[in-house]
Amino acid sequence: MIEQGVVQGAPKYMEWYAAFGLLVTLVWLYLEILRLLSKIAGRRD
């Protein structure tokens, strides 16, 4: 998506919005995976 925006000539500031959205998504996935792993580890005890 980001590369398509660059190729189509999107304004430079839009790259920052896309990068920020990607970063937020990665952090959210990381936290969700940690939460899932903690639930799995808790069931073994």
pLDDT tens-digit profile of 23-32? 999 999 999 9
In this prediction the pTM is 0.68
Q: Which domain holds residue 22?
A: 2-44
pLDDT at res. 25: 96
* Burial (0-12, 13-18, 19+ Cβ within 10 Å), 10: middle
Q: Is the dihedral of CA 27, 33, 35, 37 positive or negative?
A: negative
Is the distance from CB of 27 to CB of 10 less than 8 angstroms?
A: no
If one counts the domains in the chain, the total is 1
pLDDT tens per residue across all 45 residues of the chain? 777 877 888 888 888 888 899 999 999 999 999 999 999 988 765
